[in-house]
């Protein structure tokens, strides 16, 4: 899992003094989370795409705090990558489940919706907070009420859940074993996938960098099911591709959104997209499918009607146009 969630209920602080005192700690939390592999902080859509306009004290926003801060603090804050909404289309299963769910927590004897905490629970990831209330001074938020409508729509399931959490560096240290366990589980699943690739995807040829990416690096656990789903769809396309040229339009009928690369990107970064086939010959794997923050590049051989998958990993370099 390379995303983590901001707890919107932790804003604002009671006073500007408290905000100034604790926001540096929050930045520290985000940097330490990044060292553990968390890249993007997901925000509630009501906050917007960044934290800059977030009220952090009465009549005081993050932007105003930054104006009052040292330049190095401003630079650190700008490095925090944020996205919205809490659960994006990259996580279709969790998004669908979230649409049938409600999460609530009691704060100062008042029940409030806890969307950020709920998203972190569904995504099985970390939630971070401003240290604005004693309730957030813990490595695990308990007593979150979870209401879930079953798929049939006839029953509401209610249970109490706990969410992995941090508002100070010491909380992150307590999650170290959990982080490592998730990495090991992800690696094991990836290795098993490589061993059984011919059974799972008999009409695809996994080659190039894929063996190393699966057996040594591993696919992050929250992307794993989505990667399998897309490879199955690509496998189905390959099974039915008996004649004619490869077609992005026909691939769409199998649920695949396939993209190519611009001329500028290929001219500057084409070498990154060249991978070896089983016969050791290198080919350009321009076509790619995106799933979450991952990309997998493939090469459709139009003579043999064979699809080779040569890369599953992070977004490769591209030329950006204004």
Complete DSSP assignment for 6-45? E-GGG---SSHHHHHHHHHHHHHHHHHHHHTT--EEE--T
69 backbone dihedrals φ, ψ, rounded to 5° = -100, 165
Kind of pairing between the strands at 287-291 and 258-259:
antiparallel
Q: Can you give the pLDDT at residue 89?
A: 77
Q: Can you give the pLDDT at residue 189?
A: 81
Q: Can you give the pLDDT at residue 187?
A: 67
SS3 content of the chain, % helix, strand, coil (to 5): 40, 25, 35
Q: Can you give the pLDDT at residue 42?
A: 96
Q: Can you give the pLDDT at residue 85?
A: 94
What share of the chain in percent tops pLDDT 90?
63
Nearest-CA neighbor of 297 among 314, 321, 278? 314
With H, G, I as helix, E, B as strand and everything else as coil, classify residue 303.
coil
Q: Can you give the pLDDT at residue 322?
A: 44
Q: Can you give the pLDDT at residue 5?
A: 97
- Residues (pLDDT < 70) of the chain are 1, 151-154, 187, 217-222, 292-293, 321-322
Q: Can you give the pLDDT at residue 220?
A: 64
Nearest-CA neighbor of 238 among 262, 210, 206, 193? 206
Model pLDDT for residues 22-59, shown as the tens digit of each residue = 999 999 999 999 888 788 999 999 999 899 999 999 99
Cα–Cα distance, 40 to 85 (Å, whole number): 12
């Amino acid at each position: 899992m390379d995303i983590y969630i901001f707890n919107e209920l932790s804003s604002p602080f009671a006073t500007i003094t408290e905000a100034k005192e604790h926001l540096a700690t929050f930045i520290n939390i985000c940097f330490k989370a990044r060292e553990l592999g968390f890249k993007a902080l997901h925000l509630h859509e009501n906050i917007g795409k960044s934290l800059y306009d977030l009220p952090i004290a009465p009549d005081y926003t993050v932007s105003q705090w930054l104006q009052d801060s040292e330049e190095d603090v401003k630079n650190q804050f700008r490095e925090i990558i944020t996205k919205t909404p809490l659960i994006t289309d990259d996580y279709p299963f969790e998004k669908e489940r979230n649409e049938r769910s409600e999460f609530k927590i009691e704060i100062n004897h008042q029940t409030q919706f806890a969307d950020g905490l709920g998203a972190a629970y569904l995504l099985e990831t970390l939630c971070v907070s401003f240290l604005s209330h004693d309730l957030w001074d813990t490595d695990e938020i308990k007593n979150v009420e979870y209401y879930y409508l079953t798929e049939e729509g006839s029953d509401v399931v209610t249970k109490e859940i706990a969410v992995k959490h941090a508002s100070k560096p010491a909380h992150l240290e307590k999650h170290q074993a959990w982080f490592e366990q998730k990495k090991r589980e992800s690696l094991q699943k990836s290795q098993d996938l490589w061993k059984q690739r011919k059974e799972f995807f008999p009409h695809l040829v996994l080659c190039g960098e894929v063996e190393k990416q699966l057996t040594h690096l591993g696919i992050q656990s929250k992307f794993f099911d989505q990667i399998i789903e897309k490879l199955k769809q690509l496998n189905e396309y390959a099974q039915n591709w008996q004649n004619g040229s490869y077609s992005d339009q026909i691939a769409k009928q199998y649920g695949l959104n396939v993209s190519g690369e611009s001329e500028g990107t290929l001219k500057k970064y084409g070498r990154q997209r060249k991978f070896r086939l089983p016969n050791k010959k290198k080919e350009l794997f321009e076509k790619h499918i995106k799933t979450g923050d991952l990309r997998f590049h493939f090469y459709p051989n139009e003579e043999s009607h064979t699809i080779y998958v040569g890369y599953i990993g992070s977004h490769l370099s591209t030329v950006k146009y204004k």
